[in-house]
């Protein structure tokens, strides 16, 4: 393998100038979000109390390409284009004939893919003279990214961080505070909904659904404030397509194209951002055999075990109803270390493509995921985030299948972030303290009882 290129780079002028909107190429329209009181589709102006008008327009747009503001592209230049790397040492270790490539999003200042949308959202809110943003965060990748984005555009930022992750990942909080944001463990006493949760369960570890509810309540009760979401919504996935658009250029420069794409899924933003520009080719018939695999944890198996139906995006039932795979909006998963994947639902666009068989889904236990992460660290050197390691596990399994069958496939995964602020989790794994959790069937069954009957 001597002489093979291990890093494929693009010049700054190759940063995409437009985001790709997959809504323009869907086989059928996306099911609209519904008003839970009436069962009727939400109108764009209904979202104005919590989102700026520009992002609402992107949310409902059917245009294939949406221009990236120059001010946003200038910030992207701090870390984009990100490198695409070939994992030659991993290939050699696995003795696979497959070629393994990954897009390395850990080079951004917050260390993940999240600022691709955080910067854009901060920009659009600044343009509409909003002075503060609220949000939720699981593992802290999104919270730190929004703190970074709001710092650059002069906005204040309040972040509700899932309590178990707040306790497990203190350095993410430090990073948010270093960029000037306020970080609050959720559930908290800062909101009416947080107080209610704590009254019912003082030891509640929190969930993304609860944190979302607190952030929305905060935004809705302050005129100078809007809410910002790091995944799930259409405009968030749109902003993340810079990943896949760059990757397509990088593959083109070496005369390759992936046979299988892998990504970890919590809400679906990094995965969708990496694969949607490639799915454009599958949907058009140019690459009909392309496989795309979404990877999630077994203790929060939204895509693999949840029903496909309308549900709330938050625990307090403040959001519109979204058509998605869901475990029930009141579901609180066990406190695994892949905190960014502990969401009860997934992005409607992603869920639609899974439901139509265009995207596959798999789920893994956390110990096998950490094992895969260490295999990567001990071959390629980078310690990745526990969330990202789910995609690694699936990719390694596929590479070993290629070894058994003698198939020279091109495998690609989105390496969505580094694990340098997740060392506590790796320490637990290395000391043999990390445990797999049984799928909480009864808890899910109970939470599914609360799913609205609208649109089932």
Torsion of CA 93, 107, 363, 370, to 10 degrees: 50
Q: Does 128 have pLDDT greater than 90?
A: yes
The helix/strand/coil state of 316 is coil
Rounded to whole angstroms, the Cα distance separating 73 from 86 reads 26
Rounded CA-CA distance 439/429 in Å is 20
Q: Which residues of 377-405 are buried (b: 16+ CB within 10 A; e: fewer)?
A: bebbebbbbbbbbbbbbbbbbbbeebeee
**Would you state the pLDDT for residue 169?**
83
Q: Name the pTM for this structure.
A: 0.95
Mean pLDDT of the region 400-420: 97
Cα distance between residue 116 and residue 416, in whole Å: 11
**DSSP SS3 for 373:** helix
Q: 456: pLDDT confidence band, cut at 50, 70 and 90?
A: very low
Tell me phi and psi for residue 216, to 5 degrees: -65, -45
- Which domains does the chain show, CATH number per domain? 7-15+67-111+237-448 (3.40.50.1100), 21-65+113-234 (3.40.50.1100)
How many CB atoms neighbour CB 360 within 10 A?
16
DSSP 8-state secondary structure symbol assigned to residue 350: H
- Look at residue 1 in the predicted model and tell me its pLDDT: 45
Neighbours of 436 (CB within 10 A): 16
Looking at residue 442, what is its pLDDT?
80
Lowest-confidence pick of 136-145, 185-194, 263-272, 345-354: 136-145
* CA 225/CA 272 separation, integer angstroms: 28
Q: Inter-axis angle of helices 208-220 and 192-200, to 10 degrees?
A: 150
Chain mean position to CA 190: 26
- CA 278 to CA 273: how far, in whole Å? 10
Pairing of strands 7-8, 84-86: antiparallel
- Measured CA to CA in angstroms, residue 389 lies from 243, 372, 392, 419 at distances of 18, 7, 5, 10
**Number of residues that this document lists for the chain:** 456
Taking each continuous run of H as one helix and of E as one strand, the counts in the chain are: 18, 15
Pick the closest to residue 207 from 244, 250, 161 (CA basis): 161
pLDDT computed for residue 338 by the predictor: 59
Residue 419 has pLDDT above 80, yes or no: yes
The Cα–Cα gap between 175 and 181 comes to: 9
Region 61-83: what's the mean pLDDT? 98
Angle at the Cα of 247 (from 322 to 383), degrees rounded to 5? 85
The tens digit of pLDDT for each residue in 171-219 reads 999 999 999 999 999 999 999 999 999 999 999 999 888 998 999 999 9
CB 318 within 8 A of CB 136: no
Q: Residue range 414-422: average pLDDT?
A: 95
The residue assigned the tokens 């990496």 is 274
pLDDT category, 255, cuts 50, 70, 90? very high
Q: Report CA torsion sign: 133, 139, 144, 145.
A: negative
pLDDT of residue 364: 96
Q: How do residues 109-122 score in pLDDT, each as one tens digit?
A: 999 999 999 999 99
Task: Identify the band that residue 2 occupies on the pLDDT scale cut at 50, 70 and 90.
Answer: very low
**The pLDDT of residue 453:** 81
pLDDT (mean) for 354-379: 97
Instruction: Return the pLDDT at 339.
Output: 56
**pLDDT tens sequence across 267-322:** 999 999 999 999 999 999 999 999 999 999 998 999 999 999 999 988 888 899 99
Residue pair 260/291 in contact (Cβ under 8 Å)? The answer is yes
Report the mean per-residue pLDDT for the chain. Answer: 94
What's the mean pLDDT in 237-251? Answer: 98
């Amino acid at each position: 393998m001597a002489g093979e290129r291990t890093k494929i780079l693009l010049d700054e002028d190759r940063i995409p100038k437009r985001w790709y909107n997959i809504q323009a190429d869907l086989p059928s329209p996306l099911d609209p979000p519904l008003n839970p009181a009436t069962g009727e589709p939400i109108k764009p102006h209904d979202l104005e109390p919590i989102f700026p008008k520009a992002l609402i327009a992107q949310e409902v747009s059917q245009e294939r390409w949406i221009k990236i503001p120059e001010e946003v592209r200038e910030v992207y230049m701090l870390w984009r284009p990100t490198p695409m790397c070939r994992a030659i040492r991993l290939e050699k270790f696995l003795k696979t004939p497959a070629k393994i490539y990954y897009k390395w999003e850990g080079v951004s200042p917050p260390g993940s893919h999240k600022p691709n949308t955080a910067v854009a959202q901060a920009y659009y809110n600044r343009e509409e003279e909003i002075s503060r943003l609220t949000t939720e965060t699981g593992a802290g990748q999104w919270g730190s990214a929004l703190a970074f984005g709001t710092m650059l555009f002069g906005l204040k930022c309040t972040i509700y961080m899932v309590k178990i992750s707040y306790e497990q990942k203190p350095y993410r909080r430090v990073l948010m505070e270093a960029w000037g944001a306020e970080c609050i463990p959720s559930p908290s006493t800062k909101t009416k909904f947080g107080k209610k949760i704590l009254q019912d369960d003082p030891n509640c570890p929190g969930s993304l659904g609860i944190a979302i509810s607190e952030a929305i309540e905060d935004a809705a009760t302050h005129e100078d404030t809007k809410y910002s979401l790091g995944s799930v919504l259409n405009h968030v996935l749109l902003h993340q397509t810079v990943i896949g658009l760059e990757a397509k250029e990088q593959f083109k420069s070496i005369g390759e194209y992936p046979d299988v794409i892998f990504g970890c899924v919590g809400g679906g933003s990094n995965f969708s951002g990496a694969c949607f520009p490639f799915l454009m080719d599958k949907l058009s018939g140019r690459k009909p055999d392309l496989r795309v695999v979404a990877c999630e944890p077994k203790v929060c198996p939204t895509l693999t075990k949840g029903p496909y139906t309308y549900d709330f995006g938050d625990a307090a039932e403040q959001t519109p109803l979204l058509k998605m795979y869901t475990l029930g909006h009141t579901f609180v998963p066990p406190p695994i270390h892949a905190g960014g994947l502990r969401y009860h639902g997934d992005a409607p666009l992603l869920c639609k493509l899974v439901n139509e068989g265009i995207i596959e889904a798999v789920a893994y236990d956390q110990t096998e995921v950490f094992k895969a992460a260490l295999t990567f660290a001990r071959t390629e050197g980078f310690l990745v985030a526990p969330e990202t390691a789910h995609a690694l596990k699936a990719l390694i399994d596929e590479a070993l299948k290629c070894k058994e069958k003698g198939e020279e496939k091109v495998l690609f995964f989105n390496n969505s972030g580094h694990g340098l602020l997740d060392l506590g989790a790796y320490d637990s794994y290395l000391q043999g303290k990390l445990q797999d959790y049984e799928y909480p069937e009864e808890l899910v069954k109970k939470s599914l009882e609360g799913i609205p009957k609208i649109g089932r």
